[in-house]
Amino acid sequence: MDRKTLIFVVSDSIGETADRVARAAASQFVTQPFEFRRIPYATTKETIVEVVEEAKTVNSLIVHTLVIPELREFINQLASDNNIPCVDIMGPTMEAISRVSSHVPRLQPGLVHQLDEQYFREIEAVEFAVKYDDGKDPRGLLKADVVLIGVSRTSKTPLSMYLAHRGYRVANVPLVPEVSPPEEILMLPPDYIVGLTISDAQLKQIRTERLKVLGLQPNANYASWERIQEELAYARMIMDKIGCPVIDVTRRAVEETASQVMAILAKRDTGKRSR
């Protein structure tokens, strides 16, 4: 039987990328036994020296994804001096990308995992926004990063989805005079809630168009001046009672409103950290 080969997987982050590449390559050699030894967070020359010292005593090779140039050059040279095969995954790839893009790499370990975490955070936030849209389940209000409240057609749902794609867990609740808002609303700190308001004229226009799309009469109560005034007054009363920040979405794009919401949240979270 062939002698077992020890593959040292070295990284200045968790080493998952190097480990996957090494295992994928090794899988092509079905009759050869391998052992993988991962050395994560190798951020000092001392750690690299220890790896090379052990590697030169056994049948081995080194696979690494070191990002810091000084460490990358050090392990490549030290492995060469000791006749140890050494595969630099990141170095040549970053150099090639830098040539074709005319940009320099950030040289910060672990960025790929930060990107992955952000991606999964966004997916979770989108699922949250769908689950707790339009007041479907008030239990989600206490789990949200922010709760949007306002009358119908103030862009609560599209704004929720936009913010979700930025990683925020957003719930939204419609305010209707005949229905008391869920008690969870009053349990939240005011800076976890953002009220959305709109001019009566634009709201009437939006609702009238909505009725046309649905094939209903444009003079229905939903789009009447009296109903709109009643709803806006009720919504303002609730927002004043809560004491939450309020954004006027009249003639505003969702992106513009989202920027204001994110500024409110950033100010809130900065205030928390400073206390």
Question: What's the mean per-residue pLDDT of the chain?
Answer: 90
Residue 1 is predicted with a pLDDT of: 46
Handedness of CA 147, 153, 154, 157 (dihedral sign): positive
- The ranges assigned to domains in the chain are 5-109, 116-274
Amino acid identity of residue 75, one-letter, is: I
Residue 248 above 60 pLDDT?
Answer: yes
Query: What are the percentages of helix, strand and coil residues in the chain, rounded to 5?
Result: 55, 15, 30
Handedness of CA 259, 260, 261, 263 (dihedral sign): positive
Third-level CATH fold of 5-109: Rossmann fold (3.40.50)
What is this structure's pTM?
A: 0.61
**If pLDDT is split at 50, 70 and 90, which confidence band does 222 have?**
very high
Among 3.30.70, 1.10.3470, 3.40.50, 2.60.98, what is the CATH number of 116-274?
Answer: 3.40.50
- Within the chain, residue ranges assigned H as helices are 16-26, 45-55, 69-81, 90-101, 111-131, 156-164, 183-187, 200-213, 225-242, 254-274
Question: Fold match between 5-109 and 116-274?
Answer: yes
